[in-house]
Structure 1
């Protein structure tokens, strides 16, 4: 468009596209299809196009083609068979490697797994070899890896260091040792600590010993004890790095040091460490589970039964005697108190009933909670398979998690928010031994949601991702209502199956059978022993009440009420105690009403310091084996009234004595001449191991000897005649040699001798010319029946004369070990032939115990010195 001036202006708007050009007739029409190859192909006309002719084969070619096809099939079959054989050979090699590693394991792990492999091989399905091969390559290989990890966890660097440094190799294989070997190891360990005590005392304790120096010696011993995976006594209160506040209790140091130098204390700790170590290896091997042995291994259960049997025998063999001579059986006293499972169960049920009455009185609600540890603590799943999430955690680790991490965190947050609760917690095992809790919580209805929310928060805090939306595997809660039942009905089953099997043997009204434990699949009555053994082995506190007054005071008040009833003081007619508040608490305890007892003591959720009655303690009069005056229960008292309110509930001092069994008949008179005043009687066997002592010969009396004959028949000579002839030859040769030496010494000028040696020689009566030169040359000087020698320090020492074995066909010189463990005049080999190896082991153990007792007495002076320093500083 042009304007009037002839200038063109741009047109605004859309231009119309130009039409397509005409098709030239060559190539594909691109705009009809997206791509050229999308166009349809031209059809085939059979009349205009020639079809491909099929090639015809000759007979020879057909036969060759068939032969090639058959050969190819055979080659494929052969390759398949060869690959199968190669895979079998490779798997057999792997199987042998796994079996070789299994055979290197201790017997308590190797034997159960080999028995399981043998049972799989004998399977009736016909494929036992294949199943056993798969079991070895999959399960056994995994088990060995888990066992190795657990072994590495138990074999700490400190334990390996002290075992190699002190040559205590048995520490490295502690789970395989029996009690005799552990006792011997404990003796060596105590000797090592006594040596360490001497070294540290010489290093740190000077003339003016201070308390810090004594504490430094204790810390050195305690650090060494920690390398044995054993917690030293009073470690958390005396260790300056662990003590939180206040001055350390220095008066506990002598007893703690004495314990670490005692073989009995080390045996107790090493045996407990051995049992827990062994049990954790069995858990790692999958031998503690529902399918084999629930809660505890069969090996540990056997030891627990044996320990209970020995405890019963001990109780039957001893009695208690007071100052008046009155005696009672120790077994009766043991089963009359809380040690009796039946009495303990009744007391706990009574306590729960009292808490239930208090809750109803206060209008509190009851909540039942179940808390389980994360999956990393569980070694085995419920179906018996190994848990792949297990992180080599022990039973103690799971218990410490619930006590120190879960429960401690819950208490701190509840205290910060001012929420109050009381109740009971029950610790029981899963089928693989892992700890889980059941809690009966009483609280105000308004606080219930907050308390449950806090419990849930800390229960699922660790490893939250593994739970997902369902948290019931870790935390369950249920509000107890009247329609569901009472709190005591909830807790009754758990108290029974973890303590006393008597009420669980009754058949259920609905099923007609005894109740079954869902963890083990067995009767609850049959699993009580497993639960008790589990708690004893792993030191798990099964029952714990919180928020209520002390039950020990409850027991002491019931004891006091019984004593007053025996004195004829009637509670209905008169007030038995001078203080009305104390008398009311005692009457409530005497009636057996826990609810009234709690109210009279101040109620639930009352601090212990505000309770009316407390337990009174007294320092013991006699020291224990470690020189400590322990603390024992004296009775009851009220802090509000002071020391004047102390009442004794244990007036008698009982002494433990072995029962005397009266002997009767001929058995009581064998080997003892009663009429002869206790003299030795004729032995009742053909051999007498204790012959009468022979009187020694008078001093200067010579032993009559005969000159050796010229024609001696050594074949017909007895052992005694041979020893006598050898003694004569040695004596004659020594005399000839001494005369020659004396003639030679006379021609040698005398050496220079200091005044100290001259004085010693004069005291011993040794001539200067003959004796001094020989001693200075390092020779031994024989004077009569004494053998003298000179040490490099210039000290004159006497050596014991050499003795020889008097056994038949044995003239071996008696060494120090023969004098310690052998019979009189016999070497250790002849003694072992006479009595057997078991008797020698017993003698060695007794000798080590005697040596330990002597060392302990020797260190008594040092411990007394420590006590005197402590008392002086205090």
Structure 2
């Protein structure tokens, strides 16, 4: 009789042992245990959870399929075990922290304390040194600590010897802040987990032909980005939309608009962003035609060591690959500028199916300089690891590739005859074609915008891509937008960038001013921007490639010590003319349109305040009723049950005695409930009521449940919540408080959003929403957004 293997004799993680122990069948028990010990420890629990999910499915052959799946995975990972071990050995944080977003965020407080302790220790050890030297030593020590967990210290790219003391002070303030660390560690966690997904083969082109349905389908593999990254991205998007719907903006003039309407009217709206990009591309082409320039379309890819689906992959991340392309492009730009070669256009970054980025560039240049520019770009982009390019043509490889190209052409022609919109194959049998491919744009086949429109739409919102086939995956492009956006968000990669174009910030600021101006210097370019004429706007700026010598530039307002880190906060306020001596001289030498009058236009005269939707209406109602300020509750309350008090009353003095700030007292006067530490303050009939301990906790839960029930009712178009609304609200709040209790808290922590309303830090409330929506599975080990 077969005996179960002793798990303590195998190299297994504690979680993997716990999952294996749940299997009662001895053969399957031993198969899973021996299989998992061959993979790196941090991957064992991942594979074990996926195995047990398949193992417990209510199907006749579920156990057989689970064993086959594990065998295929281990076989696929075996050639890259060295890379996997290297990745897992270089984990920025312990796995029990990285596996939970909540624990990762909480670890930020630990890192902040360590940086503070470093500062105290160094100041004690080097008391006789000057302050500047102590600050430098502290910064270097904290920077090394940051590097050990995969975080780059502020200003670390600058030479420390030449770093101003003020910059060092700012950096130290950040590295002693738990919130700053939470943001940095969240990014580290997101990218490291995605790297593991790529390394374990969860990201890539993996299509299988199903004989029954006669269609291609995937077996758990996702192109561009993993399912985990897509889930987190979708959750952040949904949470951001909900936040926008809950908020409003009130101007200093008293105007009130919905925050989501404000966002839709700006560049955060994908439609507006796409329309502006296409406008700029189309009219950039018109400028090129007027200048007699020709258009070249480039496709640029990284060496094999950056591609996860290649045998030579060394564990590099998509971020590393993007850094490589940026570095080579910087060298190319320097070379072109030194040789006086002008060019302008646009760059689009998108991923291969395995997550490695590649570039599509549309550049316009003088016809007699195109060959020289192409040669320079080709030399830089293929100079690394040239041997892997030449190796493709040994032993008759070139003729074999040529036959493959002919076959691809035939398949492409057949697809076109069937009415499919398929990209023609490139001549990949050329020596340099895997890395660098260039095509001269033919106007008989379409405009420049038509060459790049698909890539822009694919990377934004998938507009009018139904029926188009993805060259990477062979699937319809209308289903591939979300993975691309999730990929760009995960790796913080800029998707679009114009080359040689005047400032689009000035263009957008000018479009904010709709009225005709008396200032003739600005009115001409304002009118061009108002018409949406990028062609005229560029000319009035001084033309393409004018750079920092353009006629107009943004007008900023600097606020010293404008944030918690004592940084100078710069906010845009409008535009101004650029009449410095150097700019005037350059424009004169180029013989372009030039402005000589110093003037400016302020486009942001109104200050806007973000607040909970309905606050302005309550404020107005309260003002009519004689209250001091508007009536507004906390975000988790649905109504106001408090009576405003008059200044000088007994409750007024009670509030001061309890140490509340003036703003908090003013909020209480308007009817708000104020939560401070573990107490809740509120005013009833002019008397101060204080709830603390369990009473305060019960009141928080009651108010939160009431608010959520009303929210569910409003979304369903009902005036009052029904039984189902109350049931869902109670379940949501109970789950949120349960999540908080697991973290050792008796209060809820709400997520943080950025300026666009996207979730940047998850809280208890957002976690509960994700669980109820089915985006996250709640398990006994789950205290945050766990890995799938």
Q: TM-score, normalised by structure 1?
A: 0.59
- Partner of 2:654 in structure 1? none
- Partner of 2:117 in structure 1? 195
- Partner of 1:267 in structure 2? 182
Residue among 581, 586, 604 paired with 1:650: 604
Q: Check conservation: 1:429, 1:435, Cα contact below 8 A.
A: yes
Q: Distance in 2 between matches of 1:325 and 1:537?
A: 39
- Partner of 1:281 in structure 2? 196
Q: Distance in 1 between matches of 2:641 and 2:153?
A: 50
Q: Which moved more, 1:636-645 or 1:290-299?
A: 636-645
Q: CA deviation at 1:460?
A: 1.7
Given the alignment of the two structures, is residue 368 of structure 1 paired with residue 297 of structure 2, yes or no? yes
Given the alignment of the two structures, is residue 439 of structure 1 paired with residue 379 of structure 2, yes or no? no
What's the secondary structure of 1:843's corresponding residue? coil
- Partner of 1:501 in structure 2? 462
Q: CA deviation at 1:668?
A: 5.4
Q: Distance in 1 between matches of 2:739 and 2:473?
A: 43
Specify every segment of 5 or more residues in structure 1 that has no aligned partner in the other structure, as ranges: 1-91, 160-170, 241-246, 381-386, 506-513, 570-574, 693-834, 850-874
Q: Distance in 2 between matches of 1:666 and 1:532?
A: 36
- Partner of 2:576 in structure 1? 637
Q: CA deviation at 1:118?
A: 9.8
Residue among 535, 545, 548 paired with 1:605: 545
Q: CA deviation at 1:690?
A: 7.9
Q: Distance in 1 between matches of 2:598 and 2:439?
A: 49
Q: Distance in 2 between matches of 1:180 and 1:417?
A: 53
Residue among 275, 280, 286 paired with 1:346: 275
Q: Check conservation: 1:103, 1:110, Cα contact below 8 A.
A: no
Q: Check conservation: 1:174, 1:274, Cα contact below 8 A.
A: no
Q: 1:845 to 1:458 in 2, by over 3 A?
A: farther
Q: Which moved more, 1:623-632 or 1:141-150?
A: 141-150
Q: Distance in 2 between matches of 1:184 and 1:176?
A: 11
Q: CA deviation at 1:456?
A: 1.6
- Partner of 2:318 in structure 1? 395
Cα deviation, 1:167-194, whole Å, max 9, x if unaligned, reads xxxx221674322211221111111111
Q: 1:136 to 1:238 in 2, by over 3 A?
A: closer
Q: 1:145 to 1:114 in 2, by over 3 A?
A: farther
Q: Check conservation: 1:425, 1:544, Cα contact below 8 A.
A: yes
Q: 1:266 to 1:844 in 2, by over 3 A?
A: farther
Cα deviation, 1:614-665, whole Å, max 9, x if unaligned, reads 1111113772232334111121111217995232111122233333466999
What's the secondary structure of 2:224's corresponding residue? coil
Q: Distance in 2 between matches of 1:486 and 1:691?
A: 65
Equivalent runs, 1:178-217 vs 2, <5 Å: 178-204=100-126, 209-217=130-138
Q: Check conservation: 1:238, 1:250, Cα contact below 8 A.
A: no
Q: Distance in 1 between matches of 2:30 and 2:697?
A: 63
Q: 1:465 to 1:688 in 2, by over 3 A?
A: closer
Q: Distance in 2 between matches of 1:836 and 1:235?
A: 41
Q: Distance in 1 between matches of 2:602 and 2:276?
A: 23
Q: 1:622 to 1:649 in 2, by over 3 A?
A: farther
Specify every segment of 5 or more residues in structure 2 that has no aligned partner in the other structure, as ranges: 1-28, 207-220, 394-429, 581-595, 619-631, 643-672, 674-680, 700-736, 752-788
Q: 1:577 to 1:666 in 2, by over 3 A?
A: closer
Q: Could you say which structure has the greater relative contact order, defined with CA pairs below 8 angstroms and 6 or more residues apart?
A: 2
Q: Check conservation: 2:249, 2:608, Cα contact below 8 A.
A: yes
Q: 1:389 to 1:325 in 2, by over 3 A?
A: same
Q: Distance in 2 between matches of 1:442 and 1:349?
A: 16
Q: Distance in 1 between matches of 2:542 and 2:359?
A: 29
Residue among 827, 839, 843 paired with 2:741: 839
- Partner of 1:528 in structure 2? 481
Equivalent runs, 1:410-425 vs 2, <5 Å: 410-425=332-347
Equivalent runs, 1:790-801 vs 2, <5 Å: none
Q: Distance in 1 between matches of 2:271 and 2:60?
A: 46
What's the secondary structure of 1:236's corresponding residue? coil
Given the alignment of the two structures, is residue 677 of structure 1 paired with residue 592 of structure 2, yes or no? no
Equivalent runs, 1:456-605 vs 2, <5 Å: 456-468=378-390, 469=393, 470=430, 471-505=432-466, 514-560=467-513, 562=514, 565=515, 569=516, 576-579=518-521, 582-605=522-545
Q: TM-score, normalised by structure 2?
A: 0.65
Q: 1:688 to 1:116 in 2, by over 3 A?
A: closer
Q: Distance in 2 between matches of 1:673 and 1:619?
A: 39
Residue among 625, 643, 660 paired with 2:564: 625
Cα deviation, 1:92-116, whole Å, max 9, x if unaligned, reads 9998633334595354444446768
Q: CA deviation at 1:219?
A: 2.8
Residue among 130, 144, 150 paired with 1:229: 150
Residue among 144, 154, 160 paired with 1:239: 160
- Partner of 1:62 in structure 2? none
What's the secondary structure of 1:503's corresponding residue? coil
- Partner of 1:166 in structure 2? none
Q: Check conservation: 2:51, 2:70, Cα contact below 8 A.
A: no
Q: Distance in 2 between matches of 1:643 and 1:214?
A: 45
What's the secondary structure of 1:441's corresponding residue? strand
Q: Check conservation: 1:319, 1:659, Cα contact below 8 A.
A: yes
Q: Distance in 1 between matches of 2:266 and 2:739?
A: 44
- Partner of 2:233 in structure 1? 304
Q: Check conservation: 1:370, 1:439, Cα contact below 8 A.
A: yes
Q: Distance in 1 between matches of 2:45 and 2:572?
A: 47
